[in-house]
Amino acid sequence: MQQIMEILNSNILYIVAGLALAIVIMFIMLITYMVKLKKIQHRYEKFMSKEEVDLEELLVQYTKKLNILLQNEKEMMDTIKKIEEDMKFCIKKVGVVRYNAIAHMGADLSFAIALLDSKNNGFVLNGIYSRDGSYTYAKPLQDGKSTYNLSDEEKEAINKALNQKSM
């Protein structure tokens, strides 16, 4: 015990200096935190003291705006669903074949066009060009097939349309 007291007595100056330094560092930290706290408190008071800003009214306004936005979103989703439903009956697949209906007539001025919806319903148009005139025929299609006789060009146009992926 005597030895411990002698060590403490000889190092007491260092211990006191270390404790004093720790107190000074803690005091500086205390002042720093007090300054930061004062700034935050000042900002809070400035924000809360604004007479023209009513937080409750702001929340009510934002809630009303949010409800309007949610209603608009619902209406838009309903419209999108209706458009998607209507799109099932739109022309989505097209097959075109140009050909020379009459030999020695020049360019491929005759054509066959198949126009189909997503369920492969639609029609095929066949335009035949000759020296005497131009003739156009339409034949209905149900599931990609027609009750009318089809030319090779019309069948080719239908196959081109059927091989397309619908959107």
Task: Check whether 105 has a pLDDT greater than 90.
Answer: no
Mean pLDDT value across residues 18-26: 94
Q: Where are the alpha helices (DSSP H) in 52-96?
A: 55-87
Question: 157: closest CA among 136, 126, 131?
Answer: 126
| C-alpha distance across the termini of the chain, in Å | 94
106 pLDDT band, cuts 50/70/90, is: low
Query: Distance between CA 85 and CA 156 in Å, rounded?
Result: 29
24 pLDDT band, cuts 50/70/90, is: very high
Contacts of 117 (CB under 8 A, 6+ apart): 88, 89, 90, 91, 92, 93, 166
Query: Distance between CA 148 and CA 151 in Å, rounded?
Result: 10
pTM value? 0.54
- Strand ranges (DSSP E) for 100-156? 110-116, 122-129, 134-141
Are the CB atoms for 112 and 128 separated by under 8 Å?
A: no
The SS3 call for residue 90 is coil
Handedness of CA 157, 160, 162, 167 (dihedral sign): negative
Q: Tens digits of per-residue pLDDT, 35-77?
A: 999 999 998 888 777 666 677 888 899 999 999 999 999 999 9
Mean pLDDT of the chain: 88
Q: What is the pLDDT of residue 95?
A: 94
Cα R_g (the chain), whole angstroms: 44
The secondary element (H helix, E strand) that includes residue 95 is strand 93-99
Q: What is the pLDDT of residue 148?
A: 93
